[in-house]
Each structure stands twice: as C-alpha cells, then as structure tokens.
Structure 1
C-alpha cells in the first residue's frame, strides 16, 4: 500500500493544473480513457483503480491504473495490475504490466 500511495503522490506531483474546460469535456475525456484503457488491457474484467492522472497538455498523456485477472489458465485467476497511458491527441491507449505495485480494488 505504501508503494501505491507513493505512486499516486508522484503522479499527482508531476501533473500540472489543467486549463479551464467544461465539466462535460472532462467527463467525456475520463470516459474515453477508461473505455480505451480497458479495451487495450489483456486482463479479464479490468477495472480502473482510483482516478486518472492528468498530465500537462504538452505531455499529451493521461495515466490510469487497471486491475483484473490474468486470463491464462496457468495463472488460475490471479490478480494483475497494468498501467495504461492514454494518448489524448491520437485517442489511443498503451498498456504495460505493472504488478510491482499492488493497489487494492475499492470495496463494492
């Protein structure tokens, strides 16, 4: 959990304040990030962990942690974590395994 907290603090520190946009525009971006990232994920039933980290427009990316189960039979449903980077300009998502950080999914 300490690693997760540290990662969130680092991602937040790297993100700068966004320019003014409508709340509808932010909601649409958030939805697009979650949709594209979960589609790009190799995990079964991927879910966003926390909220996305918005980087400065000069960077052009949004970061999102995902968590789900590995689909391979030999993994026996083990939980996996991925980091997704969403390219705002091209509206594409890039995912990499990031099991070194083990955030807990929020309770339902």
Structure 2
C-alpha cells in the first residue's frame, strides 16, 4: 500500500515538471518560428502579428502572419503582410505575400 502511494506521488511530481518544461519547449519553438520567418521575409521592420498557428503533427507546419514595410522604392514604404509557413521537420521557413488577408471577398 505504501509503495502505491509513493509511486502515485512520484507520478504526480513528474507530470507537474513535464508541464513546466512543455511551456519552455513551446516558448523555444515560438522563438525559432519567429526568427526563421523574419529571416525569410522580404519586408523591412518585420514583426509577427499574433502567435503561430500550430497544425497537427501529421501536417508538420506552423503558420505565422508577418507585417512590415515593402523596402522597394516603387512600393513607397507601404505596409505589407506575408504568411510564413514553418516546416517543423526541416526547421525552414517559407513566406508568401498575403496582403489579401484584409480584403473582403464577395461571394
């Protein structure tokens, strides 16, 4: 009986520490996504808009919306948005212009 109580307490203590490290692991992941996406961005003064959207592990991607300014002279420093897809397996980021996110599509 005493062994079962000790085993139960050990299990509970282990679960508590696993959750703490899980938060740290997610914070590290979010930082990796942000750094990779900003590096892949074509915008200047690039910032994340919100937090990464996490897809199921079978998909293997995180998505992050970025906002910054177009550096090209003809764009006249206009605000732009990009969608970044971060491949969790290869730890690589790929961006695509996504200014249309704020446009309303008519059916």
Could you state the TM-score of these two structures normalised by the residue count of structure 1? 0.74
**RMSD of aligned alpha carbons:** 1.5
> d(CA) in 1 for partners of 2:45 and 2:92?
19
Which structure exhibits the higher relative contact order, with contacts defined as CA atoms closer than 8 Å and separated by 6 or more residues?
Answer: 1
Name the counterpart of 2:95: 95
Cα deviation 1:83-102 (Å, max 9, x = unaligned): 00000000000000001013
> What does residue range 24-103 of structure 1 map to in structure 2 within 5 Å?
24-102=24-102
> d(CA) in 2 for partners of 1:75 and 1:22?
42
Q: Residue 100 of structure 2: SS of its match in structure 1?
A: coil
Asked which structure has the greater CA Rg, the reply is 2
Aligned residue pair count: 84
5+ residue gaps, structure 2: 1-18, 103-107
Could you state the TM-score of these two structures normalised by the residue count of structure 2? 0.75
Cα deviation 1:10-52 (Å, max 9, x = unaligned): xxxxxxxxxx771111000000000000000000011000111
> What does residue range 12-27 of structure 1 map to in structure 2 within 5 Å?
22-27=22-27
Deviation above 2 Å: which 4+ runs of structure 1? Answer: none
